[in-house]
Structure 1
Amino acid sequence: MSSEDKAAPPAATFADLGLSPKVLSAVEDAGYTTPTPIQAGAIPHALQGKDVLGIAQTGTGKTASFVLPMLTRLERGRARARMPRTLILEPTRELAAQVEENFVRYGKNHRLNIALLIGGVSFDDQERKLERGADVLIATPGRLLDHFERGKLLLTGVDILVIDEADRMLDMGFIPDIERICKLIPFTRQTLFFSATMPPEITKLTQQFLQAPVRVEVSKPASTAQNITQRLVKTGGKPWAKRAKLRELIDGEGDELKNAIVFCNRKADVALLYRSLLRHEYNVGALHGDMDQRARMATLESFRKGTVTLLVASDVAARGLDIPAVSHIFNFDVPVHSEDYVHRIGRTGRAGRSGKAFTLVTRGDGKYVDAIEKLTGQSIEWRDGDLSTLSEEDDGAEPPRRGGRRSGGEGRTRSRGKASDGERSRRGGRAKDEPAPVAAAAEDEAQQQPAAEKPARRKPRKDRADGKAAGERAPAEQPPQGDRPKPAKPERRRGKGEDTPVGFGDDMPDFMKIKVKA
C-alpha cells in the first residue's frame, strides 16, 4: 500500500475546501468559519473520492472531516430500500448518536434519510428506517451484523465507508467484526479511516482495507494538547482514602471547576464512587456501559446542560464525546492502557479552551504512569511530591481497631451479609470511607469484664475394649445380675396422662396414640 503524507497549511475558510453551497450555508449557521488542520487536510481529498487515513488527537474536529464531504457527495443519487449508500462505524452508542446529530445539524438543507443502528433500541423501529432507504447509515459493529444476519440489510450499495475511532475499536475487540463488514462491502468503495493513535494492529488493518490512502497527520500519534494542565496526585491505595483525596481535589479547585468528568477503570467502581459522592452531597451523575440507552443519553444531556456538575464515567465517555466546556478531568484510576489517558484528558481543553487533568496515583500504579509518559513523550508534573514522599497517613493506613472489630473498609460491601453503601445511607449509618465510630462506654466495659465460665460438657467416651465409659474403673467383684440394685428412675412430667410413652413427652405425635387392633 502506497501512502502519501500531507501536511498542507489550513485553508483560510471552509469555502476554500470545495464544499457545496448547501453545506457551507449550514456551517456558517453553526458559527464556524475557519477549518481545523485535520479538516483542511482531509476534506479536499475526501471530496475527490480518495481513501483518507486521518491521524489527529481527540477534540480536533475529526467528525466534521468526514461529515461535510459526505453531505456534499450525497447531493447526487438516491437510496434504495435496505441498501444504504454510506456506512459509518462507531465503537460506542454515544459516538454513533453524536455523529447523527452532526448530520442533522450540517445536513439541514438536505433531504437525507439517516438510520442509526445501536443497541438498546427496538429492532422494529430500526428496520422501518432501513425499509425506507438510508442515505446515511450510522452503526455500531454488533448491531449492524445483527440486522445483516436477520436479512434486513444489504451492504452491496455502500459507496463510502467511514471507520471512526479505530484504536478504540481495537481496544473493544471489534476488529474481527470490522474485517467481516469490510468483506461485505464492494471493493470499489471509498474508505475514510480516522484514529487518534496508530498501534501496529491498526497499521495492519489500514494496509488491508485502504487503497493508496492519503495520510493526513496534524499531530504526532498519542500527543496531548498543550492547553491542558496535567498533574499527578499521590494517594493511598485504600478505596476510602482515594475517595477522600478526590473530594479534596474537587473542593480545592473552587470556582475554577465549572464541571468535570471523573474516570474509573471498572463499571462497578463507577457505581460505588457515584454513591459516595452523592452521599457527600455533590451534584453528580453516572455513566457506564451497563446502563440502558435511555438513561445514558439522559445523563449526558443533563451534563451538557449543566444540570449535573460531576460525571463519574467509565471509558465509554472517553472517546469523541462533544462536550466542549468541560473544565476538569479527574482520573480516579490510572488507565491500564496508556492510549486511554490521551482520550480521557482530551475531553477537556477543547476548541482552544484551557483545561486541567488530575490523575490519582497509588504505589501500584507506577508502571502505568511510566507507560503514559513514554507514549506521550513528556513527563507529567506531580502536584505535591511523588510517591516517595507518600506518608503512612497518606497511604491510607487502616484506622486502629477497637474491641477486636474491624474498622470501615472496602471489603464490607463485597462480603456476604454486609450492608452496602446505599443501605448504610438509608439506615442513617456512617459513610463507608469514614473511620469506625468509637464503641459505647457500656459496651467497652462489657468487653473488658471476663466472661462467665460455662460448665464444661462431659461426653463420656466409650472404651473400645469393654464398652465402658473411658476412665471408669470396674469394681473388683460384681454382684450377680439379679442382686444388683436398680437405679431409681427420674420422675417424668407428663401433661397428657400416664399412657404417654417414655421418650416423647408432650411432643408425641397424635398418630402414635392410635391403639393397634389385636
Structure 2
Amino acid sequence: MADTGYIHPTPIQEQAIPVVLMGRDVLGCAQTGTGKTASFVLPMMDILAGSRAKARMPRSLILEPTRELALQVAENFVKYGQHMKLNHALLIGGESMSDQRDVLDKGVDVLIATPGRLLDLFDRGRVMLADCKVLVIDEADRMLDMGFIPDVERIVSLLPPLRQTLFFSATMASEIRRLADAFLQNPKQITVSAPASVATTITAGLAFVRPHDKREALRRLIRSQDVQNALIFCNRKRDVDVLHKSLSKHGFAAGALHGDLPQSVRFATLEKFKAGELQLLVCSDVAARGIDIGGLSHVFNFDVPFRDEDYVHRIGRTGRAGREGNAFTLATADDVKLVAAIEALTGKPIPRIEIPGLDPVSAEELAEAATAPRGRGRGRAAPAKGRGGSREEPREVQRRGNNRVRDARRPDPAPIEEAMEAPPPVMADAAQEPRRRDDHRRADKRDDRRDDRRSHRREDPRDAGRAPRDDRRRDRGDPRRDDLGPPVLGFGDAVPAFMLIPIPRPRQEAAEPQPSENGNGSEAA
C-alpha cells in the first residue's frame, strides 16, 4: 500500500475489509468511484496467502460484466500483490484460449473472468470450480442489464456450497435484492452512500439544443472548456462511429470504443487514451462501468441515456477519489421525459446551461414535448390511423392492405367465365367432312388387317401373362402409333368436341393397297 500511495481507506474499504477478513458474506452498495475494487481484492489476497493452488482448480473467482473492467481488476491485482507469490488468470473473450489454458494448467489463486468465457472453458473441461472458496460478483446491476444473470446462476451452482460470497453493486433494485438473497447467507449489508447518487465533486450541466445542432454544440462546448481528456457517451454504436469521424474531421484527437470492435483494437485504443495520445474517447456504455482513468477532467453525454441509472455511472468516470470533475449533457426537446427521470433518481435538478451562437429551445417546445403521448419521442413519425391506410378508405380496402398490387396483377375472371360458357368452336366445315370420313375408314381397314396378322403369328411361351405386343409397343411410345394422337385424360368416354382434331399423317408413308372399281387390283392413290 505504501508503494501504491494509499494512506487512508475510503468509507467502503473501511467498513468492508474487516467483515471480509472475518469470513462473512458481504452485500455492498456504494456509488461508482469510491474504491470498491480494493475493498475485496486486498482482503482476498490476505486470505489466500497461506496456501497454494492446484492445476485447473482456482481458489477464488471474480466475475466482471465487461472485458475492460476485468482487465482493470487484473491490473489492480498485479499492483497490489507485487510482493506476494499469488498467481492470477484473466479469462475474457477476444483473447487466445490456448494461452488461457496454459495459465490454468499451472494453477491460479485468483481467477478473474467474464461469464461467457468462463463457461466456455468449463464446458471444455479446462477449469474446475470445486475448490473455489471465495466468490466475488462485481457490478451486479450491470450484469442484470446485460443479461448475464442466467450464466451467473449456473456458475454459482457449480461452486461448493461452503464458500464466502461478496456481492457489490452501485444500485440496489428489487431484482438485485432477490439475487443477493439467493446467493448470500446471512450477509453483512454495507451502504456508504445513497444508491444512484452523484458525487459532490462533479460539476454538472445540461443544454437543450436542436437535433441538427448537436455536433456543433459539442464542438463549441469542448473548445469553451479546459478539457484535458474526456469521455463522450453515445447511446448507439453506429452513432459512436459517426461522431468519431466528425470529430476527427474537425481536428480533434479522438478515438472510438464500443462492443463491436475487436478486442485488440479496444485495448489499444484504451491504452492510447490513458497514455494521453488521444484527448477524446467516443464510446458506448461499455466504458460506463468501473473504468478508472486517472485525472479524467470531463464527461460529455452526447445522447441522454435511456436508463436513468446509466447517467450516474457515466458521469461517475470523472470526479473520482476526491478530484474535481465536469459532466455536461446535450439534450433535445424529445429527451424531456428522460431528463425528468434522471432528476427524479438523483433527487436534484441538473443545472441548465446555454451554448452561445446556437438557437435555444423555447420553453413552449419543452412543455409540448413533456405532454406528448408516449412513443412520439426521438423523432418517430406519427403512427398510421389504420392497418391498411386511413380510416376514410372502405373496410375492404383496409383489409387487403399491401395486397393491392398483387390484386391488380391478377387477371379479370369475367373473360374466363365467358369463354367457359361459350359453345365449343367448330373445327371443320362441311366441305372437309367427306375427307374426314375417308380417313377414318382407311384407319379401320388397317386395324382389321393388323388383327388378322396377329392371329396367324405363332405364340411365344414367354409372352404368357403379358400384354399384347402392340399394346406394349404403344406403352413404350411406338412411333408407328403416333397417328392416333395422345390419349385424352380426365374426360372418360365423353371427349369434348373441340378436342377432336385430326392428326395428319406423314406424306412419305405409302397408302394401303385398295381394290379398284374395275377389279384389276391396282392401288388407290
Q: Is the counterpart of residue 242 in structure 1 residue 208 in structure 2?
A: no
Q: Is the counterpart of residue 342 in structure 1 residue 342 in structure 2?
A: no
1:94 maps to what in 2?
68
Q: Is the counterpart of residue 113 in structure 1 residue 83 in structure 2?
A: no
Describe the SS at the equivalent of 1:224. Answer: coil
Unpaired stretches in structure 2, ≥5 consecutive residues:
370-378, 380-414, 416-525
2:334 maps to what in 1?
364
CA contact (8 A) 2:333 2:365 kept: no
1:333 maps to what in 2?
303
Q: How big is each residue's C-alpha offset from its partner over 1:102-139, in whole Å with a ceiling of 9 and x where there is no partner?
A: 11001011111111000000111111111111101000
Alignment of 1:192-271 (within 5 A): 192-238=166-212, 241-253=213-225, 256-271=226-241
CA distance in 2, matches of 1:298, 1:325: 19
CA contact (8 A) 1:329 1:357 kept: yes
Q: Is the counterpart of residue 302 in structure 1 residue 272 in structure 2?
A: yes
CA contact (8 A) 1:231 1:383 kept: yes
Q: Given residue 203 of structure 1, which amino acid in structure 2 is its aligned partner?
A: R
2:344 maps to what in 1?
374
TM-score scaled to structure 2, two decimals?
0.68
1:164 to 113, 130, 138: 138
CA distance in 2, matches of 1:259, 1:265: 20
Unpaired stretches in structure 1, ≥5 consecutive residues:
1-26, 396-409, 411-463, 465-518
Count of matched residue positions in the alignment of Structure 1 and Structure 2: 365
CA distance in 1, matches of 2:79, 2:330: 38
How has the CA–CA distance of structure 1 residues 210 and 391 changed in structure 2, closer, same or farther, with 3 Å as cutoff? closer
Give the superposition deviation at 1:360: 0.7
Give the superposition deviation at 1:387: 4.5
TM-score scaled to structure 1, two decimals?
0.69
CA contact (8 A) 1:263 1:314 kept: yes
CA distance in 1, matches of 2:185, 2:347: 31
Give the superposition deviation at 1:324: 2.1
2:38 maps to what in 1?
64
CA contact (8 A) 1:327 1:349 kept: yes
Describe the SS at the equivalent of 1:137. Answer: strand
Give the superposition deviation at 1:377: 1.1
CA distance in 2, matches of 1:384, 1:312: 23
How has the CA–CA distance of structure 1 residues 195 and 201 changed in structure 2, closer, same or farther, with 3 Å as cutoff? same
CA distance in 2, matches of 1:145, 1:364: 42
CA contact (8 A) 1:58 1:320 kept: yes
How has the CA–CA distance of structure 1 residues 80 and 369 changed in structure 2, closer, same or farther, with 3 Å as cutoff? same
CA distance in 2, matches of 1:37, 1:223: 15
Give the superposition deviation at 1:251: 1.0
CA distance in 2, matches of 1:244, 1:38: 41
CA distance in 2, matches of 1:351, 1:283: 26
1:131 maps to what in 2?
105
CA distance in 1, matches of 2:78, 2:205: 38
Q: Which has the larger radius of gyration?
A: 2
CA contact (8 A) 1:235 1:390 kept: no
CA contact (8 A) 1:324 1:351 kept: no
1:284 maps to what in 2?
254
CA contact (8 A) 1:334 1:368 kept: yes
CA distance in 1, matches of 2:257, 2:155: 29
Q: Which has the higher contact order (CA 8 A, sep 6+)?
A: 1
2:52 maps to what in 1?
78
CA contact (8 A) 1:82 1:153 kept: yes
Q: Is the counterpart of residue 47 in structure 1 residue 17 in structure 2?
A: no
Describe the SS at the equivalent of 2:28. Answer: strand
CA distance in 1, matches of 2:345, 2:117: 33
CA distance in 2, matches of 1:184, 1:320: 27
Structure 1 or 2: more helix by fraction: 2
CA contact (8 A) 2:210 2:361 kept: no
Give the superposition deviation at 1:87: 0.2
Q: Given residue 360 of structure 1, which amino acid in structure 2 is its aligned partner?
A: L
2:158 maps to what in 1?
184
CA distance in 2, matches of 1:149, 1:344: 35
| TM superposition outliers: structure 1 runs of 4+ over 6 Å | none
Give the superposition deviation at 1:384: 2.7
Over the aligned positions, Cα root-mean-square deviation in angstroms equals 1.8
Give the superposition deviation at 1:200: 1.0
Q: Is the counterpart of residue 315 in structure 1 residue 289 in structure 2?
A: no
Give the superposition deviation at 1:388: 3.1
Q: Given residue 204 of structure 1, which amino acid in structure 2 is its aligned partner?
A: R
